[in-house]
Amino acid sequence: MKQFGSSLWRVAHGREIELGKRSVIMAIVNVTPDSFSDGGRYQNVDKAVEHALQAVADGAEILDIGGESTRPNAAFVGPAEEQARVLPVIEALSKRTQALISIDTYREETARLAIGAGAHIVNDVFGLQKEPAIAALSAKTGAGLCIMHTGRDRQKLADIIEDQAFFLERSVEIASAAGVLRDRIVLDPGFGFAKETPGENLELMARFEELHRFGLPLLAGTSRKRFLGAVTGREPAERDVATAATSVLLRLKGAAVFRVHNVAINRDALAVADAMLAARNDLQTAGSDLQNLSATL
């Protein structure tokens, strides 16, 4: 078991959040008609805001607002339509909650407008490698960055962790070259994004602690993913228990942030994991104190 050391994730508008000591939940708010799990349910602004506020009441500290589905073969959405979907939701939420707001986009223009509307974080599923100008935007505005690994549109390396390193090291280089400080960055290994088989996703889970090589906080985004359906035989909306199981397993391997659909079930599962980790740390501290005392006698 590994617990990533405590650190502050500094984000736009002078905000910050502590990562590491306890699990932080990022709620998924899809303002889309075609997302794989909940497409169309929150496409209306009022419904999206209501859903987001309920997620905060259930324990979410970050709200991730997306206006374009990232599922395989999803319909293309242009920037104007994406912005029309997400900006009214972000504007409304910025006035009604103190939760951090994340914009799920790979477009610099959408990210810039979202930050202006009140967003604190840019969650880029192409890891700054589709529109690198997002890095300069972060440096200018202080926005937090969630940099995700993807294998889409390129040839992957055979070893799953080496491919993570190949891609994410380039992403971090883009951020650094633009002047983004490391305390603005969280990394996401991108479960389900061109991980072609259930086995590939499960191997990524099994080797998750190897991602601490980057020295940056890690986000886990397994919620309702297809590989959980392969394991359980359940449809997307029925995969919340399986998601919570992965959240606990990845928490024990050092994940700090958890991007999920069902906040309440993951909150409870992660509360147990956090309590166990705290008890383990107390025991280790007590043992160390006892050793130190014995050494002085």
Residues noted as catalytic = 225, 259
Q: How far apart are CA 160 and CA 137, in angstroms?
A: 30
Question: Whose CA is closest to 146, among 154, 157, 136, 138?
Answer: 138
Question: Whose CA is closest to 110, among 95, 97, 125, 98?
Answer: 125
Give Cα separations from 290 to 196, 259, 276, 285 (angstroms). 49, 39, 21, 9
With beta carbons less than 8 A apart as the criterion, state whether 189 and 160 touch.
no
Give Cα separations from 13 to 112, 116, 141 (angstroms). 13, 10, 8
**Measured in Å, how far apart are the chain's first and last C-alpha atoms?**
32
Q: How far apart are CA 206 and CA 41, in angstroms?
A: 33
Q: How far apart are CA 167 and CA 56, in angstroms?
A: 33
Q: What is the DSSP letter of 44?
A: S
With beta carbons less than 8 A apart as the criterion, state whether 137 and 122 touch.
yes
Token pair of 235, please?
């449809």
Go through 224-256 and write b for each residue having 16 or more CB atoms within 10 A of its CB, e for each that does not. bbbbbbebeeeebeebbebbbbbbbbbbbbbbb
With beta carbons less than 8 A apart as the criterion, state whether 172 and 166 touch.
no
